Amino acid sequence: MNKFFPAKVFDRLQGLLVPVLLLALWQYLSSQAIINPQILPAPTAVIAKWWEYLLPTEAFDPAKSGYLAWFFSGEMIRDAYASLYRVAVGFFIGGILALPLGLMMGANDRIYKLFNPLIQVLRPIPPIAFIPLSILWFGLGNPPAIFLIVLGAFFPILMNTIAGVRHVDGIYIRAARSLGASQTTMFLRVMLPAATPYILTGARIGVGTAFIVVIVAEMIAVNNGLGYRILEAREFFWSDKIIAGMFTIGLLGLAIDTGMNRLNNYLLKWHRGIENK
Amino acid sequence: MTGRPHIQISKVSKIFSTGGREVIALEDINLDVQPGEFICLLGPSGCGKSTLLNAVAGFSSPTSGTITVSGQSVREPGPDRGMVFQEYALFPWMTVEKNIAFGLEIKKLPGTKIREKVGALLDMLNLQDFRDRYPKDLSGGMRQRVAIARVLALDSPIMLMDEPFGALDSLTRRNLQDELLRIWMEFRKTIIFVTHSIEESIYLADRIVVMTYRPGKIKKVVSVTMARPRDPSSVEFNDLKKELSLLVMEEQSRHNQEQTRLPTAE
Ligand SMILES: Nc1ncnc2c1ncn2[C@@H]1O[C@H](COP(=O)(O)OP(=O)(O)OP(=O)(O)O)[C@@H](O)[C@H]1O
Ligand SMILES: [Mg+2]
């Protein structure tokens, strides 16, 4: 490698090779009408649609709203916001319920035996199977969707918290006891931090599940959000919009995962094996 | 040094029963430890040194017999008996500073007082440069310094140490031994120090308690009267080393025989 073409740049270009080839093939197939564009629109059409979906629908009118509000008034932004809002609320409620229960179940055998059978029965039911019941209970709109997301986030966080507390190395507990730690101190300053690697793994799985559930829930119980939008597009045979929507869902998923990863690295900077880059 | 013993171990036995088999880990242990005394428990692996130390620490209670500390019977672990573990047992999610401060925060000392005390300990143990580091970034020797500082912070009159330097290289080990002796002399702590290194026990102890293997009994208590700092190359040191080697070797060979007689698969 010479200095005008360093290895790093080469690596990047290499990584782009397959996607670019695939895109070119796709573009060729659709533009030559080898594939019906209604089935598979050209990449350029998808990008155009995505851009349109992103931009505000109306022209800027200072009398009606501020510039920022206008800027974010595009359909995609509103959909993404609606989906993200459901994930956030559902994940938060699920976590708030799962964390204390998991800590208690992990630390106390009696509580564990009390709740474990019920959890073992409910856990294997995919949250999506709760859709009919949630609509029956909560009607349509945000409540059933959030209920499903709560379920999706709850179990991974719960199971991992229990495992985390159970795996706390006994030596930390002994050290803390000999330093005079009370029950509360032991719980908050020893068990909880010692269990964080597990808890964060649970949170990460929980967010992932919540994100799957929100898309499905929106397809069935709500009439906005990214999941709803791509299903709606199908009814009009707008395949370009479906793919544009999927692309947005993917980007959002990536953003959430990156965010969780950052949080993970920050909270676990003390942990062996994780280096701060 | 006569007067009320600081730690009184009388007729202590400990039997573990696992899988239908009983292991007599300790049998009829009697030992009085005077205030400010440095005791080493010496013996081959599995002879019950940790079991005895844990009983004094209050982590497990003896099957029979009593242990009293300053006249009070031991029921649970407490900050009057600071414990230093072989595995360091530092809290990995706390910085060095936080680890040392933890016991003081439990005691609810005011913040300025804690900072002052922690600062002094960091100075004393040469840890100033590491105050904001996490344990994972420290070497074994550094970690054990932090563990010692954490116990010193509590001003516990007693330090219980279970092979604290067992995992360290010999140079670091000698360094920490010297440091421990310095601390012990400065603060006049009562120390029970578990080791299976004969040389270490001679270098450190006022009295060496040699234990037997299964049942764990006290085979002999050897007083070391040499002035400190002790010279491991001196004749006196080496005579004592020979004497102790013989005692320990007997137990070691019983240990080895036992190991070969034990059924391997259970
Ligand atoms: N929790 C336990 N359950 C059953 N047996 C045990 C338990 N703890 C210790 N023992 C047994 O008691 C005996 C004494 O163990 P102990 O750990 O006190 O030995 P030790 O002298 O500290 O050895 P080492 O030098 O290897 O640390 C051993 O034979 C061990 O197998
Ligand atoms: Mg031991």
Tell me the pLDDT band of A276, cut-offs 50, 70 and 90.
very low
* Model ipTM value: 0.89
Give residue A277's pLDDT.
40
Tell me the pLDDT band of A274, cut-offs 50, 70 and 90.
low
Ligand nearest to the CA of B211: 1
Q: Structural domains in chain B?
A: 20-80+189-266 (3.40.50.300)
Cβ count near A166 (within 10 Å):
13
CB contact under 8 A, A175 and B83: yes
> What value does the mean pLDDT take over residues A197-214?
95
Domain ranges of chain A: 7-35, 67-276
Give residue A3's pLDDT.
62
Phi-psi region of B20 (alpha: psi -120 to 50; beta: other; left: phi over 0): left
Cβ count near B144 (within 10 Å):
29
**Segment holding B124, helix H or strand E:** helix B111-124
In one-letter notation, the amino acid at residue B55 is A
**Segment holding B15, helix H or strand E:** strand B7-18
For chain A, where are the alpha helices, taking DSSP H only? 7-31, 43-54, 67-71, 75-107, 109-122, 131-138, 142-166, 170-178, 183-185, 192-220, 226-235, 239-267
pLDDT: is A275 or B162 the higher one?
A: B162
| Chains A, B: CB pairs < 8 Å | 64
Give residue A4's pLDDT.
66
Give residue A2's pLDDT.
58
Give residue B93's pLDDT.
96
Helices and strands of chain B, counted as H and E runs: 7, 10
- Bridge partners for B12 per DSSP: B29
Distance from CA of B10 to the nearest CA of A (A): 22
**Segment holding B113, helix H or strand E:** helix B111-124
Per the CB < 8 A criterion, the answer to whether A161 and A102 are in contact is: yes
Give residue B49's pLDDT.
95
What backbone torsions phi and psi does residue B7 show, to the nearest 5 degrees? -125, 130
Token couple for A74? 């595009």
The CATH H-level superfamily of A67-276 is MetI-like (1.10.3720.10)
Give the binding-site residues of ligand 1, using a 6 Å CB cut-off: B 16, 18, 23, 25, 43, 45-51, 196
- Ranges of residues in chain B with a pLDDT under 70 are 1-2, 259-266
pLDDT in tens, B210-247: 999 888 999 999 999 999 999 999 999 999 999 999 99
> What value does the mean pLDDT take over residues A26-49?
87
Whether the bond between A156 and the residue before it is cis, its omega within 30 degrees of 0, is no
Whether the bond between B229 and the residue before it is cis, its omega within 30 degrees of 0, is yes
Q: Whose CA is nearest to atom 25 of ligand 1?
A: B45
Question: What is the C-alpha separation between A159 and A112, in angstroms, rounded?
Answer: 11
Question: What is the C-alpha separation between A14 and A172, in angstroms, rounded?
Answer: 48
In one-letter notation, the amino acid at residue A197 is P
Residues 6+ apart with CB under 8 A from A37: A30, A45, A239
Cβ count near B126 (within 10 Å):
12
Length of chain A, in residues: 277
Per the CB < 8 A criterion, the answer to whether A130 and A143 are in contact is: no
pLDDT in tens, A58-110: 778 887 788 888 888 888 999 999 999 999 999 999 999 999 999 999 999 99
CB contact under 8 A, A270 and B81: no
pLDDT in tens, A119-154: 999 999 999 999 999 999 999 999 999 999 999 999
Nearest CA in chain A to B104: A179
Give residue A198's pLDDT.
96
SS3 of A214-231 = HHHHHHHCCCCCHHHHHH
Q: Does residue B105 sit in helix, strand or coil? A: helix
Give residue A67's pLDDT.
82
CB contact under 8 A, A180 and B134: no
Token couple for B144? 């054990």
Enter the pTM of the model. 0.85
- Ligand 1 atom, smallest distance to B86 CA: 27
Give residue B262's pLDDT.
56
Flag whether residue A189 sits within 8 Å of chain B, measured between CB atoms. Answer: yes
Q: How many C-alpha atoms does B127 have within 13 Å on its Cβ side? A: 31
Give residue B207's pLDDT.
97
Phi-psi region of B262 (alpha: psi -120 to 50; beta: other; left: phi over 0): beta
Give residue B265's pLDDT.
44
Cβ count near A104 (within 10 Å):
18
Give residue B119's pLDDT.
96
Give DSSP secondary structure letters for A249-267.
HHHHHHHHHHHHHHHHHHH
The pLDDT of residue A204 is above 60: yes
Helix axes A43-54, A75-107, angle to 10 degrees: 80
